[in-house]
Chains A and B, each alone.
Chain A
Amino acid sequence: MFYFLRKIGNSLLLIIGVTLLSFVLMVWFGPDRTFGLLGKNPSQEQIEQVRRQLGYDRPFAERYLDYLGALATLELGYSDSSGEAVRAVLARTIPVTLALVLPGFLLGNLLAIVLAMLAAWHRGRALDRVITGLSVAGMSLSFLVIIIGLQALLCTPYGVNLFPVRGWQVDGFGSYFYYAFVPTLSLVIVSLGYNTRFYRAVFVEEAQREHIRTARAFGASPLTIMTRHVLANSMAPLITRVLFSIPLVIVSGSLLIETYFGIPGVGRTTFEAITNGDQPVLKAVVALTAVSFVVVQLLADFLYRLFDPRIEQAVADGGGAAV
């Protein structure tokens, strides 16, 4: 009980730390929006006026407390660039990002688990070497190269030209498949190498345990062993990894895809907000990511203890090592 209170206290401290950091970077040192808000030929007075309106002349502490206050009361306000309510912006863009990123994320992990099991089972033999080799190759491919290459191959006349170069007009499964196929494929390819490697290592370690060797000696089928014993016992690191990748994939991973494929999701919106200094949107996104990251950490922690209460020491390690 006390442990969880302490954890929650830590989480609050984390949130404060994140908001402070993001405030310093994005607000205090952020882009000066004055000239973006003035027309051609502004006068010195107009400039002063706008600066006063934007609050640029107020002291650090005052602005930071305002920032925290607005976050705490969820008073998200209106976007500085388009005037749209931030709540509406998030409600519109987050589902798009999720729809875009989740299939690739899930597929990437599932496929990796299957490949890793195959590799771990046939450890040292040809299949394992092929899978490991491909994983290393996969890890050496830049995301950008994958995206440009796939787009050229699948969406232009130089390749098969089956899918759109950009866009997101989804109104049914057919169009969803049409627009999400290439981005999903890119996500799968980019993450497959890393994931396979990771899961293989986990499975290999697990498979070397005494009880597995015993099961093999008893003649249990490979499938049973891999699923019932190895996989089940590896759930802890597996879940931790999956959980930890979620916030990263959703905001950072989607940024490149959304920018390149012209998809109106939260990654791109946030990036544009940074470059345009649209603080209301930034506040909301940063708070959201911080909170979700902290929640994920708490959850991972909890699940870890659930699966193996003995690993307290490893948990105290900071957890993130497994990522």
Chain B
Amino acid sequence: MRCFQPAALILCLALASCAEDAQSPEQIGRTSAYRHAMDGAPTNLDPAQAAIIYANFFAVNLYDTLYRYKYLARPYALEPNLAEELPQVSSDGLIYTIRIKPGVHFVDDPAFENGRGRMVVAEDFVYSIKRHFDPEVRSLGAWLWDGRIVGMAEWRDNGANYDEEVPGLRALDERTIQIQLIQPFPQLTHTLAQGFSAIVPREAVEHYGPELSLHPVGSGPYRLASFDSARAVLLRNPHFRAEPFSLAREGYDPERQASLGLEALEGKVPPFTNRIEVEFITEDAARWSAFVAGEVDFIKAPVTQFDTLLASRAPPRLKPRFEQRYHMRADLESGLVLTHFNMSDPRIGSHPDSDQDARNHALRCAIVKAFDWQKRNEIFYYGLGRVFPGIIPPATPEFNPNLDNAYVTRDVDEARNLLILNGWTEGNLPVLEYGLVAGVTERQMFEQFRSFMSDIGYPAEKIQPLTFATYGDYARAYHNREVMLITTSWTMDYPDAENTVQLFYGPNASPGSNYSNYDNEEYNRLYRASALMQPSQTRTAMYNNMNRLVMEDCAAISGISRTLILLWDRDVAMLPDRSFVGGYFFRFVNVGAETGE
């Protein structure tokens, strides 16, 4: 504490004594609650609205999903959650039969008769998925199963009557679910591990109406004690089914995970922590301060602190004084950041005149060549991001590490040549409209992009920002094809490259998720064929082919996967994550254990 002159000194002393009394309880002694910090906040905890990662975390902890991912296995592997085992799939891949565990109950809640939580039955799952197709619900997750389940579209169009049966989604008995697909959908089981598929009881929906978000009634390991824009508090669900923790089943890797202190938990029954406090701290500075002050046990470290934290980058290692206090995990994100070109914009994309089309193609490739990924990585991701060519990110099993990196290697000369050879001059270059959400980092990225382009002779006045105050606004604009260059990140919903490859499938064009409105016949053909295939070498070869097509057409400046640095207190025994396939680790968190070196 630095105090300069006598008067200030006295003031400081007075304040210090006051502040000590006033210090929040967390700093006085170690409590047994786990205090988690999220770098964003969910607005709505209804599983049908769990589109963002923060909401997904809550959905999977307050409610039950049929499946989840193993706690410790990397890469992520599916594990039955409410289901007894992985689904039985018919030979044509169209019929899935799933049995759920017996004796699982919802939490006690006034929504039920006598206030006691009743048993979870197969019909509850059926109801929960039907909800997504009820227009009144305005679900954000319907797209996962849209056009896939037999009879669902008809059910929706017939007035969405919950008492009416959907032929492709039935409860054969109290514990058996049967799903019938229109076409094979290899990723179906993955979708049943997402927060969207969480099981919601009909009584709660009818009782709470629009306030369901504030009164979650689930069968998950936790129940909600409080929720506002600053924090949420979860309490252990005493009726959660008892399933002893098994290191082997969760995919424990003794070589890499020995220091986490997990062996002591073998055989114990999760959830291990009675109380979880989740703070929503979007501001990097505040989150960092809260963590080092001991107010929270876990954060995703802000990039601005990487300098302070890390002693080395490859591999990332903490400086000794942090190493003593914290565990660290450097996680490659399941997703990527890229910039799409709007191919339906004739100034830069496809053009009916074949000559102009070729010139546009050259322009796009010149822009791709002029982009300096190494510098982007260095400045904004502390060099920890992983740059890769194309649209299949490193976190997927289908990633090909041997691909030629030319697509993401800067070559100013080649870029200039492309422009000259195709008749592009300072005078006739189109004005590039770069879409971004108003924010310091986004604006800096734009200015960096502009400086990259100026190196190949693109005049600064011809590169203009198109700012939007919120992401929702931005989304509306690019869904309406109004944005020329769309920089965005895509977080994968499940660990399968199909999720990124569908981003360039023609029929998924705006308002769908094909933001670049890319439409290549061969690509589309390959996609349709591969969509029905289970993961295999043949399928991976097709994906590689599709990747090549996108790069040849220079449809996007792509891409980079960010590395997240997760830090947590050594007092806490856990392996945390921050991804869409994660969040399930809450039930395995153990506070207060002594963890080894």
Q: B3 at interface (Cβ–Cβ under 8 A)? A: yes
Q: B176 at interface (Cβ–Cβ under 8 A)? A: no
Task: Find out whether the CB atom of A175 lies under 8 angstroms from the CB atom of B138.
Answer: no
Task: Find out whether the CB atom of B230 lies under 8 angstroms from the CB atom of A168.
Answer: yes
Task: Find out whether the CB atom of B229 lies under 8 angstroms from the CB atom of A269.
Answer: yes
- Contacts A83-B211, A166-B281 known; A31 to B143 CB distance under 8 Å? no
Q: A139 at interface (Cβ–Cβ under 8 A)? A: no
Q: B317 at interface (Cβ–Cβ under 8 A)? A: no
Residues of B within 8 A of A155 (CB): 289
Nearest B residue to A263 by beta-carbon distance?
B230
Give the residue of B16, B21, B139, B512 whose beta carbon is less than 8 angstroms from that of A162.
B16
Give the residue of B22, B214, B513 whose beta carbon is less than 8 angstroms from that of A83.
B214
Docked CA distance A85–B213 (Å): 11
Residues of B within 8 A of A177 (CB): 18, 22
Residues of B within 8 A of A165 (CB): 285-286, 289-290
Q: A247 at interface (Cβ–Cβ under 8 A)? A: no
- Contacts A81-B43, A82-B214 known; A262 to B281 CB distance under 8 Å? yes
Nearest A residue to B23 by beta-carbon distance?
A178
Task: Find out whether the CB atom of B470 lies under 8 angstroms from the CB atom of A275.
Answer: yes
Identify the stretch in B107-115, B257-265, B471-479, B527-535 within 8 Å (CB) of chain A at 4 or more residues: B471-479
Nearest B residue to A259 by beta-carbon distance?
B283
Give the residue of B1, B141, B144, B213 whose beta carbon is less than 8 angstroms from that of A84.
B213
Docked CA distance A47–B479 (Å): 11
Task: Find out whether the CB atom of B473 lies under 8 angstroms from the CB atom of A31.
Answer: yes
Q: Give B55 Cβ to nearest chain A Cβ, in Å.
A: 11
Docked CA distance A84–B212 (Å): 9
Size bracket, chain A contacts: 35 or more
A residues 209-264 touching B (CB-CB < 8 Å): 260, 262-264
Docked CA distance A78–B44 (Å): 12
Docked CA distance A65–B470 (Å): 29
Task: Find out whether the CB atom of A83 lies under 8 angstroms from the CB atom of B139.
Answer: no
Task: Find out whether the CB atom of A178 lies under 8 angstroms from the CB atom of B22.
Answer: yes
Give the residue of A31, A43, A82, A164 whose beta carbon is less than 8 angstroms from that of B472.
A31
A residues 73-87 touching B (CB-CB < 8 Å): 78, 81-85
Q: A37 at interface (Cβ–Cβ under 8 A)? A: yes
Give the residue of A32, A49, A156, A163 whose beta carbon is less than 8 angstroms from that of B476.
A32
Nearest B residue to A77 by beta-carbon distance?
B210
Q: A313 at interface (Cβ–Cβ under 8 A)? A: no
Task: Find out whether the CB atom of B212 lies under 8 angstroms from the CB atom of A39.
Answer: no
Residues of A within 8 A of B24 (CB): 164, 169, 175, 178
Task: Find out whether the CB atom of A41 lies under 8 angstroms from the CB atom of B143.
Answer: yes
Task: Find out whether the CB atom of A78 lies under 8 angstroms from the CB atom of B211.
Answer: yes
Size bracket, chain B contacts: 35 or more
Task: Find out whether the CB atom of A39 lies under 8 angstroms from the CB atom of B511.
Answer: no
Residues of A within 8 A of B229 (CB): 264, 268-269, 272
Contact with A along B221-232 (1 / 0, CB 8 A): 000000011110
Q: B12 at interface (Cβ–Cβ under 8 A)? A: yes
Task: Find out whether the CB atom of A31 lies under 8 angstroms from the CB atom of B470.
Answer: yes
- Contacts A162-B1, A276-B472 known; A39 to B51 CB distance under 8 Å? yes
Task: Find out whether the CB atom of A50 lies under 8 angstroms from the CB atom of B138.
Answer: yes
Q: B551 at interface (Cβ–Cβ under 8 A)? A: no
- Contacts A34-B476, A35-B476, A160-B1 known; A82 to B213 CB distance under 8 Å? yes
Contact with A along B1-23 (1 / 0, CB 8 A): 11100000000100110110111
- Contacts A39-B141, A78-B211 known; A262 to B475 CB distance under 8 Å? no
- Contacts A35-B479, A82-B213, A162-B1 known; A53 to B511 CB distance under 8 Å? no
B residues 242-275 touching A (CB-CB < 8 Å): none
Q: B295 at interface (Cβ–Cβ under 8 A)? A: yes
B residues 478-518 touching A (CB-CB < 8 Å): 479, 508, 511-513
Q: A63 at interface (Cβ–Cβ under 8 A)? A: no
Docked CA distance A302–B210 (Å): 44
Q: B423 at interface (Cβ–Cβ under 8 A)? A: no
B residues 192-231 touching A (CB-CB < 8 Å): 210-214, 228-231
Task: Find out whether the CB atom of B12 lies under 8 angstroms from the CB atom of A160.
Answer: yes
Q: Give B391 Cβ to nearest chain A Cβ, in Å.
A: 16
Nearest B residue to A92 by beta-carbon distance?
B228
Contact with B along A138-180 (1 / 0, CB 8 A): 0000000000000000011101111111111100001101100
Residues of A within 8 A of B439 (CB): none
Task: Find out whether the CB atom of B476 lies under 8 angstroms from the CB atom of A166.
Answer: no
Task: Find out whether the CB atom of A174 lies under 8 angstroms from the CB atom of B470.
Answer: no
Task: Find out whether the CB atom of A82 lies under 8 angstroms from the CB atom of B44.
Answer: yes
Nearest A residue to B290 by beta-carbon distance?
A165
Give the residue of B2, B142, B289, B290 whose beta carbon is less than 8 angstroms from that of A39.
B142
Residues of B within 8 A of A37 (CB): 138, 140
Task: Find out whether the CB atom of A36 lies under 8 angstroms from the CB atom of B213.
Answer: no
- Contacts A35-B475, A82-B43, A83-B44 known; A162 to B19 CB distance under 8 Å? yes
Q: Give A97 Cβ to nearest chain B Cβ, in Å.
A: 13
6 A-B pairs (CB sep. < 8 Å): A38-B138, A39-B51, A39-B139, A41-B143, A50-B138, A169-B24
A residues neighboring B (CB under 8 Å): 31-44, 46-47, 49-50, 53, 78, 81-85, 92, 155-157, 159-169, 174-175, 177-178, 181, 260, 262-264, 268-269, 272, 275-277
Given contacts A41-B513, A162-B15, A169-B24, 12 further A-B contacts (CB under 8 A): A31-B473, A36-B476, A39-B143, A42-B479, A43-B511, A49-B135, A78-B210, A83-B211, A84-B211, A181-B15, A262-B230, A269-B229
9 closest A-B pairs (Cβ-Cβ)? A178-B22, A174-B22, A39-B140, A36-B472, A165-B289, A166-B286, A41-B512, A83-B210, A81-B43
